[in-house]
Structure 1
Amino acid sequence: MSIPDYETLMLPILKLLSDEKSRKTSELVNSMIKEFNISPEDAKELIPSGRAKLINNRVGWACTYLRKAGLIESPQRAINKITDEGIKALKNEPIKIDNKFLLKFEKFQEFRNDRSENIDKSKEQNIAIEEKTPEEIIGIQSQIINKSVGRDLLDIITGIEPEAFEQLVVDLLLAMGYGGTVEDAGSAIGKTNDGGIDGVIKEDVLGLDTIFIQAKRWKGTIPIKEVRDFAGALLSKRSNKGVFITTSNFPDGAYDFVEKIDRKIILVDGIRLSNLMIKYNLGVSVKETIEIKEIDTDYFTT
């Protein structure tokens, strides 16, 4: 039997996980091969790039979509477990689970809205997706995937311990080129706890200046009072530079406030945080690299 599309795989995967045991994605792949009587030859079929097996790719995407809807979760990398929402969905005995079915869930609606955002922008500019170059289409799809990864990152970060979040902030700033050494940065943050300041990191390797840091995991919008307190703490330290990083977001008034004061405070909300992590490869890994070739005219020049 040929390999089913990823939507066809959703229901059998969810049923397999209904015993509430955690399973590796590789286990799901093997189960789906047996479920659909996929021949050994078909199971070896590769995706167009040749970098992964087609069945692995489709099972992976089926799990991704189920996770986006909140029907399964991944407590660890490549581990899948059904959620309470997934158990409820199966109790209704659905004949099929596909994208239309998943649209019943708010989380999946948000995910689909992100996917359509770039296409909507193209429509506003009266540019059909078919009229775009292959490179432009790849760029759009890359943005969609990154937004999805960003949401997953925020879900994970929101659930980690405060100390782990502080270390994440250190690692990010180091990846961006700030700080002296890992030891210097690690010993600075999370130690001061002084008047709204969580730590200090060197601005550069030589330590010509310092940057004070506030790192907060937060649910809901950060109160502007927290930003003002941080600014006051900078003043008491006679410092002009600070970074306030959160998993949440800031009110418009906070941005207006930092624009007007004489100290430089950068506000990094959850979305920007996840984007920076993706950009500097922190907490993410490269799944696949696509090489775009062009003619080397020098080779043919005599």
Structure 2
Amino acid sequence: MSRPKFVQFFCPVIEVLKELGGSGHPAEVKDVIANRLNISEQERTELLDGGAPRFDNQVAWARFYLVRAGIIDSSRRGVWSLSDKGRAIEFLSYEEALTIFKQIHSEFQNNGNSGEATSESDEAIGETIAPNDTSVSDDSSYRKKLLEILLSLPPSGFERLCQRLLRESGFEQVIVTGRTGDGGIDGQGILQVNPFVSFKVLFQCKRYTGSVSVSQVRDFRGAMMGRGVIVKSGV
């Protein structure tokens, strides 16, 4: 079996996550690794045939195998974090990293999981997009499909989606109030800053292509008393 280049990043990923307190966002982890290993800007911007940065993709492959080995927990909200097993590792040599790769890769081949990890056994693995890592995937087609779905929603459906989005972002008591003659205000909610401070926020839903114009923002400000946000869908 050949030695995929991304195996060299197993130990740096673990070390950087430890340095960051046990967890970190993918871009943050990759930046620290690049600085620590003196990865040049040219190397960082070199692209695969699919358009993803080769360096980012190799680090993502390292993370993928470390997840399968139980060293990193599955991503939660785009955050990479060490498991108890990962935190207990003081140092991982290249040979130990290679052993992990061979073991996990062998499991994929035995289980026939070609959908998650290619059956290739050499460095060509790293030339394909790493699974389950949207930060390096070419997601332009998914964005297009998502926008098509959003634009096809009825006005009430889009308002409900915005309501859910605000709730997921920490707003409470979010209600939709959109109606004719409301000055463009579609709903309101309460943003709890801390146990002592909260304030009412009005929101307006915009669903079209192009930017929100200055005049539309001005009209929205004129229709409300207090703070507000504009939730926009489009390109």
Same-fold call, TM > 0.5? no
Using the size of structure 2 for normalisation, the TM-score is: 0.42
Using the size of structure 1 for normalisation, the TM-score is: 0.34
Q: Please identify which structure carries the higher strand content.
A: 2
Q: Please identify which structure carries the higher helix content.
A: 1
